[in-house]
């Protein structure tokens, strides 16, 4: 008799900002685009960016990081898009 057991493991690693990939998705309207943020192959955030108002907003995938790190990542993404230091792919 054989039994199959699936184990889930949690791996914590320091976020390497060079591994972030920020992709432009579909257009929301004339001025706004949807955005997806990947870390390696994993989708870690979604949001939108409005070119006319220069406003960006993100939602980080729940459970990936603690609240402080989540806020730091959101600030990094929002500031990077609004200041044009992050280039959309």
The domain limits of the chain are 17-82
pLDDT in tens, 64-79: 888 888 899 999 999 9
Taking a C-beta distance cutoff of 8 angstroms, is the pair 86, 80 a contact? Answer: yes
pLDDT in tens, 29-62: 888 999 999 988 889 999 999 989 999 999 998 8
């Amino acid at each position: 008799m054989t039994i199959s057991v699936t184990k889930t493991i949690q791996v914590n690693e320091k976020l390497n900002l060079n591994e972030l990939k920020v992709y432009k998705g579909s257009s929301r309207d004339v001025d706004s685009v949807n955005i997806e943020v990947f870390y390696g192959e994993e989708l870690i955030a979604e949001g939108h960016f409005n070119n006319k108002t220069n406003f960006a907003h993100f939602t980080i995938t729940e459970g990936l990081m603690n609240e402080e790190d989540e806020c730091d990542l959101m600030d990094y993404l929002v500031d990077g898009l609004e200041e044009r230091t992050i280039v959309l792919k």
